[in-house]
Structure 1
């Protein structure tokens, strides 16, 4: 692995997947590393027996031409479909599918937490939590949430300007299987504990049954961030009942804590990249709280790497 044109991509969410695919299509070799058990990042799906919940991002929307074109390609392939209005698209049969499509055929090493980056002459080596070392790589693209980028860079003695300006709001995600369906596919009260209620079962390609995903508001999630999960479940099932005005009679309930759920302050640049050491970072924290922002940022970082390595995009 010492020829030119080998790039390590850290993070297998939308930004990392977009960067990895763009680099691979330009002729570079990539290796993707992610600390999770699977790909998708916050485009996540939880499966419990026969139950399925999109407990992370609920849908995608396109403002620009690049992501609109990508959504159109996915739609023609049956990978996404409209939901709760023609402007909202969801992955089929789960929100993970668009990321899985971008990473198809690329080497992805899951359950691998990279703790340090080591500069070795003109190359990088990556040290993971088990002590294993990966590389050498000609460039590194980091696409995890900004606080995790900062932790990794600090441990590696590397600085990227402006990244400290990015900040996130947390979110408690509450999943419930019940016997009463909501009046609408998507409800967004945005006040009190409840930010949104998504009728998971109404999304195209989903298994039958009544399943809801509830996202708490940022302020409520921040105040209850360290509360026990059983407390969160009890509070949010009451708030969901109050919001819907009906009994739910749940057969399954659980909660998931997203510490870095939604970008509050973005750095307002497409990506960060240092050509002197061929290392950069990308994510929705660069451009804004949208899946499209993560996609566009990943493409921008890939273009910066391609230009630097002499592979024009």
Structure 2
């Protein structure tokens, strides 16, 4: 294949968005595909019919490295992020997906498109979605799914990309509650070392959020794993009861729902910034490469983009 060409990026979460923006800045064309109805991945916000918003995935991000610190400053300057508290936590505005949207602004994104198979031919990579439609050719492919989904796609496609199988995730059940009264504690964000409740966040304390009394409750990994396949109604009832036991008082929700995150938090990371096979022009990135932080996904996506850009632009 000749140098240059369009890069297909599978996944519109933080890693995919960071890779897409980095490649675009390098002068390469990109096309992003995601199976969801919206972008952001685990940086997700749910809106109810009544208009209430819940960040039901990642609650915040925090910068440690220079690159991500500069990016966070750019998001704050653009009005798509703001500090949440004095401990350096930051959140998206008006919801957690906003920074990802900002990275993808102006780039082509195809949503509700599940890529079921990738195949490489003489002209480049072709993608086949779950409906049987094909896209391509592409000069390179960057897969930014959770590691088990990367492995599954490679197996289905008959393509070798060793590495993702060594990473592992903990699941998480999230409970969303809109209450008719204050929950009885002043803190914006509580964490607990023991199961079943791992985290409680008060949505209305975040900048740019509407007033009210909205909680996002994350179950602990061991509890979530033990109850992963149970019916949503049973999980919701159990988590409400656990929350009441934790708070020592009853809660009266006007809205309640649960969301299951099968791949919520990295438990075992690969230990490398990304995976890339220059012979195939195929790579993978995500927080599973470096660790359970949004910054890790950002750094991994950029690292993969740099590998692809160097490969495709060499010899132009």
User: Per the alignment, in what secondary structure is the counterpart of residue 74 of structure 2?
Assistant: helix
Q: C-alpha deviations, 1:204-256, integer Å up to 9, x for none? A: 10122110000000000000001111111111111111222222211111000
> CA shift at 1:311, angstroms?
5.7
Q: For residues 106 and 17 of structure 2, what CA distance do their matches in structure 1 show?
A: 12
- The question of 1:180 aligning with 2:182 is answered yes
Q: For residues 35 and 12 of structure 1, what CA distance do their matches in structure 2 show?
A: 9
Q: For residues 162 and 249 of structure 2, what CA distance do their matches in structure 1 show?
A: 50
Contact 1:18 1:102 in 2 (8 A): yes
Q: C-alpha deviations, 1:139-190, integer Å up to 9, x for none? A: 0000010000001001111111222110000000000011223321000013
- The question of 1:101 aligning with 2:102 is answered yes
- Partner residue in 1 for 2:168: 167
Q: For residues 96 and 246 of structure 1, what CA distance do their matches in structure 2 show?
A: 33
Q: For residues 196 and 84 of structure 1, what CA distance do their matches in structure 2 show?
A: 16
User: Which deviates more, 285-294 or 238-247?
Assistant: 238-247
> CA shift at 1:297, angstroms?
0.1
Query: TM-score w.r.t. structure 2 length?
Result: 0.96
- Partner residue in 2 for 1:55: 56
- The question of 1:69 aligning with 2:70 is answered yes
User: Which deviates more, 82-91 or 141-150?
Assistant: 82-91
Query: TM-score w.r.t. structure 1 length?
Result: 0.97
- Partner residue in 2 for 1:209: 212
> CA shift at 1:122, angstroms?
4.5
Q: CA RMSD in A?
A: 1.3
User: Of the candidates 289, 307, 311, which is equivalent to residue 308 of structure 1?
Assistant: 311
Contact 1:232 1:255 in 2 (8 A): yes
Unaligned runs of 5+ in 1: none
User: Of the candidates 189, 192, 206, which is equivalent to residue 189 of structure 1?
Assistant: 192
User: Of the candidates 279, 285, 288, which is equivalent to residue 285 of structure 1?
Assistant: 288
- Partner residue in 2 for 1:7: 7
Unaligned runs of 5+ in 2: none
User: Of the candidates 239, 244, 256, which is equivalent to residue 242 of structure 2?
Assistant: 239
- The question of 1:156 aligning with 2:157 is answered yes
Q: For residues 71 and 314 of structure 2, what CA distance do their matches in structure 1 show?
A: 22
Contact 2:14 2:297 in 1 (8 A): yes
Q: For residues 39 and 154 of structure 2, what CA distance do their matches in structure 1 show?
A: 23
Contact 2:4 2:313 in 1 (8 A): no
Q: For residues 115 and 285 of structure 2, what CA distance do their matches in structure 1 show?
A: 16
> CA shift at 1:75, angstroms?
1.1
Q: For residues 102 and 122 of structure 1, what CA distance do their matches in structure 2 show?
A: 29
Q: For residues 34 and 146 of structure 1, what CA distance do their matches in structure 2 show?
A: 15
Q: For residues 111 and 14 of structure 1, what CA distance do their matches in structure 2 show?
A: 17
Contact 1:26 1:311 in 2 (8 A): no
